[in-house]
Amino acid sequence: MPNVVFDASTLVGALLKIGSVPERALLIARATATICLSDEVEAEIREVFARPKFAKYLTSGRAERILAVLTTAAVRVRPAVAVRDCRNVKDNKYLELALAGGAVTIVASDDDLLVLHPWRGIGIVTPAEFVRRYEAG
């Protein structure tokens, strides 16, 4: 199974709307790929999910369900090589994770990552493109 990385922006999209394209991308990845996760990326995702501005849009247990889909079968990776290729330095952690995890794809909703496609042979695609590729077979 190919390895894949998700950025926090995509996962927020999955969090906020049941049945959304980002949620479909996450579920497809969970079923057909191996999700790579580092402690740093998981910490950022948990911090973002806990922001009060999202609470009013969430049903009970929604954040926990999305986190469970993300983390339960994820491969834990410890990036060893620092990357400085992204114009937003906070997003370099996704590139580092993808590189260390041997990912073939980063699913991103962040333009700072998407503009790098392809990066070192790793595709950086929107959730819609990820779903489209899966559905195309």
Q: Could you say which architecture CATH assigns to the domain 3-136?
A: 3-Layer(aba) Sandwich (3.40)
pLDDT digit string, tens, across residues 9-54: 999 999 999 999 999 999 999 999 999 999 999 999 999 999 999 9
For the whole prediction, is pTM greater than 0.85?
Answer: yes
Domain boundaries of the chain, sorted by first residue: 3-136
Across the range 49-73, mean pLDDT stands at 93
What is the distance between the alpha carbons of residues 106 and 114, in angstroms, rounded to a whole number? Answer: 9
Mapped onto helix, strand or coil, the DSSP state of residue 126 is: coil
pLDDT score recorded for residue 59: 84
pLDDT score recorded for residue 137: 75
What is the distance between the alpha carbons of residues 126 and 10, in angstroms, rounded to a whole number? Answer: 8
Q: Can you give the three-state secondary structure of 44-103, one letter per residue?
A: HHHHHHCCHHHHCCCCCCHHHHHHHHHHCCCEECCCCCCCCCCCCHHHHHHHHHHHHHCC
pLDDT digit string, tens, across residues 77-135: 999 999 999 999 999 999 999 999 999 999 999 999 999 999 999 999 999 999 999 99
pLDDT exceeds 90 at position 60:
no
Across the range 45-67, mean pLDDT stands at 93
pLDDT score recorded for residue 57: 86
